Amino acid sequence: MGLPFTYTTMLGYHNLSSLESALYILIYVIFFIIDDLLVFTIAVVTFKVTGISNKYAKYSNLFGGLIMLALGIILIFFPSFLL
């Protein structure tokens, strides 16, 4: 959270117009997305090269589903836990 806060604070110090600020934030987001796309592409290529077994996929989906279920229950019944 520190880097986006610092970036937007620095934009505020330079007294840019709204359009200039929006363009600088757009540039920041584009580079942020490029980084994520690079990591995602490496992961997909790695899965294609090594192959993903049905057993791994089954347990991965089960684990992800349990996490989503737990988060849903926490959000409904105990939202203060996430503060």
- Spell out the domain ranges in the chain: 1-51, 52-83
Show pLDDT as tens, one digit a residue, over the chain (83 residues).
Answer: 678 888 888 888 888 898 998 999 999 889 889 989 999 999 888 877 666 667 777 888 899 999 999 999 999 998 888 77
The pLDDT of residue 27: 92
Residue 57: which H helix or E strand, with range? helix 54-77
The pLDDT of residue 67: 96
The pLDDT of residue 39: 92
Which among 13, 43, 6 has a CA at the least distance from the CA of 28? 6
